[in-house]
Amino acid sequence: MASTLALFLTSAGTGLLAGGASCAAVQGGLLAGAVTRRTPATVPAPVPALAGARRSPGGAARDRRPTPTADTFAEPKPLVPVGAFLVGKLASHTLLGALLGVFGDALQPSPRARAVMLIAAGILMVLFALDLFGVKAVARLVPRPPASFGRLLRRSARTDSVVTPALIGLATVLVPCGVTLSVELIAITSGSPLAGAAVMAGFVLGTAPLFAVLGYLFRRTSRALSARLAVVTGVVVLAVAAWTVVSGVQAGGWATFDLSSPPAAAAGESQGANQAAAGGDKKQVTSGPVRMDASSQQIVTLTVTDFYVPTKFTAQAGVPTTLVLRGKDSGGCARAFTIPELGVQEIVKRDGDTKIDLGARKPGTLRFSCAMGMQTGTIDFRKA
């Protein structure tokens, strides 16, 4: 249950910091269509004649009040259709997350296939951002809802029922943004309907504040201000696109950025000072992130909480090696551990050890990361 809560909070943070702008770029048109309707809600009752009203020559009282016009009709509260839109979106995405969790084992892509999808999502977000800036060259490259779907929305927009924006919110699941695709991968990796639903629900709730603000502004502001909002959103989407591409590169094991922790020493280096001067006997290293056990098996231990500790190891090449993933109240994306080069994908136990046989590695760098490419690290294998 704690891991499900951690996935929920992680996805909510992703939605708040990155998903809102990205999804607004893709689904902003649907949001605008759902909330920018001005339809008379009720027609005011006739105004009763006043005691002192002026009478017409025929004797009928003539009311001095102005005749009600379309401008005096009541308008629904601005946030009511926005709220209905968000409720519909939450319902459809939560259901999708549960389904992705159920079929996670069958649908789970390889680490590098996932990385390619992330990079493609980042490139797609760049196109959306350029489209927001008004670059005509990319207009044909940006995916858009079918024309029939647009006509249906326009017909729906002529009614004042809150059911309409709710249905449009439900339909947003068919028009995902790049960050949504990434979070859907986390839901798949979770392998649980409850965890998958928590991932998608947390993400939608994280995007809700920005969608609520945009919906209110779409309903209240002028077209000129809406255009300025589009430019600001485009800048944010470009930043999110860069973050997504970097995450994809790291998730694919092609590069690793910002490794700040010092490397854990290799077992061979730790043993060097323990070599006996005569007879060549060695004292086995039995503790530390990199150690040798009694059978001369090299053990590399990575502690997994919400992060990886440490993120850099130096190990001995040419020695049978086992990587131990030591879960300590692990949660979030860090639980979805991958080694892209080897095609390894493991869900780390919340508390306990998960072992991966790496074999006898040749000299070189082996990269690992979480499924989203946000938590990364390396094992540098060197000759003794």
Map out the domains of the chain as residue ranges: 2-40+73-251, 288-382
pLDDT in tens, 151-161: 665 565 555 66
Separation CA 342–CA 69 (nearest Å): 71
Q: Does residue 380 surpass a pLDDT of 80?
A: yes
pLDDT in tens, 45-98: 444 444 444 555 555 545 555 554 444 444 445 567 778 888 988 999 999 999
Separation CA 128–CA 141 (nearest Å): 9
Q: Are 165 and 89 in contact (CB under 8 A)?
A: no
Long-range CB pairs of 151-154 (<8 Å, 24+ gap) are 153/30, 153/33, 153/34, 154/33
Q: Are 212 and 205 in contact (CB under 8 A)?
A: no
In sequence order, the 6+-apart residues with CB closer than 8 A to the CB of 41 are 73, 74, 75, 76, 160
HSE, side-chain direction, 13 A CA sphere, residue 198: 19
Separation CA 122–CA 116 (nearest Å): 10
For residue 150, the model assigns a pLDDT of: 59
Separation CA 123–CA 129 (nearest Å): 10
What pTM, to 2 d.p., does this model score? Answer: 0.65
Residue tagged 């086995």 (tokens): 284
Instruction: Provide the residue type at 23 as one letter.
Output: C
Fold annotation for 288-382: Immunoglobulin-like (2.60.40)
For residue 272, the model assigns a pLDDT of: 45
pLDDT in tens, 283-299: 555 567 999 999 999 99
Separation CA 347–CA 327 (nearest Å): 10
pLDDT in tens, 290-326: 999 999 999 999 999 989 999 999 999 999 999 999 9
Which helix or strand (DSSP H or E) is residue 114 part of? helix 111-132
For residue 302, the model assigns a pLDDT of: 96
Q: Are 167 and 87 in contact (CB under 8 A)?
A: no
Instruction: Provide the residue type at 149 as one letter.
Output: F
Separation CA 356–CA 334 (nearest Å): 16
pLDDT in tens, 231-248: 776 787 788 778 878 888
Strand, coil or helix: 352: strand
